[in-house]
Homo-oligomer: A and B are copies of this chain.
C-alpha cells in the first residue's frame, strides 16, 4: 500500500491519486481521515452539504428515506468509492443519507476545498464528470429494473451486482454482510417478500446462506431471472 503522510492509501483514494503531486501538501492540510462505526451516519438526508467522502475501508449504504418507515437503498459503496457526491449540484442539502454497514475509514474533503480542486485540476474534474455520467447510467438501469422486473428478478439482479462489486470467496460468498431488510430496501420491496424470494432461490440452489453471508452458487440461474424480456 502506497500511503501518503496522512495515511491516505493512494491506490484507493481517487482524490489523492488524481491530484498533481504539488497539491499533495495542500490536501494534507485540508482533508481529514477518521473512522465511523457500524450503524453510524456519514451524513443524513437533508443535512447541509459539508464535503465529500472517500472510503478507505469498510462499506456503507446510501439511502433515501420515505416517511419514518420506508427507505430505498440507492447504492452500496466500499473501499475506493466516493460518497456524498450526490450533494453536489443545485441544492445545498444531501439528497440521501450514508450509513456505515461495518466500521469504515473515510477521507473527508471539505466542500470548498473539493470545489477548489475541481476548478484547478482539470483531470480531476474530467474524472468526476465521467464518474457522474456512469452513476447516471447505473441509476437509470436500476430504475428500469425496478419498474419492469418482478421482485425475484430484482433480487437476482441485485445479488449478481453485489457479487461482482464486492467479490466472492471460494464458496461464492459475497464479501458484504447484508441484512434481509437492507436487501429488501435495495430491491424496493418489503422484508417479508425479500425473505420469501430468498427462500425460493435457496430451494432452487441458485444461492446459499451460511451465517450472515450470502453465496451465489448458480450464476446462470440468477441471470435467467434478471434477464431482459
Task: Give A contacts to B, CB under 8 Å.
Answer: 64, 66-68, 70, 72, 74, 85-86, 88-91, 95-96, 118-119, 122, 125-126, 128-130, 132-137, 139-144, 146-148, 188, 228-229
Best-surrounded residue of A95, A96, A136, A188 (most CB of chain B within 10 A): A136
- A228:B88 contact, CB within 8 angstroms: no
Choice from B66, B122, B136, B141 contacting A148 with Cβ under 8 Å:
B66
Closest B residue to A141 using CB positions: B95
- A134:B89 contact, CB within 8 angstroms: yes
- B136:A72 contact, CB within 8 angstroms: no
Give the oligomeric copy count. 2
A188 to B86, CA, bound (A): 24
- B228:A140 contact, CB within 8 angstroms: no
A146 to B188, CA, bound (A): 9
A66 to B226, CA, bound (A): 12
- B228:A66 contact, CB within 8 angstroms: yes
Q: Whole-angstrom distance from the CB of A115 to the nearest CB of chain B? A: 9
Choice from B95, B137, B140, B188 contacting A147 with Cβ under 8 Å:
B188
A66-B228, A74-B140, A136-B139 known; A89+B146 contact, CB < 8 A:
no
A229 to B142, CA, bound (A): 23
Residues of B within 8 A of A139 (CB): 136, 139-140, 143
- A140:B96 contact, CB within 8 angstroms: yes
A189 to B67, CA, bound (A): 23
Residues of B within 8 A of A140 (CB): 64, 74, 86, 95-96, 139
Residues of B within 8 A of A125 (CB): 122, 125-126, 129
- A135:B136 contact, CB within 8 angstroms: yes
Show 30 A/B contacts (Cβ-Cβ < 8 Å), sorted by A: A64-B140, A64-B141, A66-B228, A67-B229, A72-B143, A72-B148, A74-B143, A86-B136, A88-B129, A88-B130, A89-B133, A89-B137, A90-B134, A90-B137, A95-B141, A118-B126, A118-B129, A122-B125, A125-B126, A125-B129, A128-B129, A129-B129, A132-B132, A136-B136, A139-B140, A142-B143, A143-B143, A146-B146, A146-B188, A148-B188
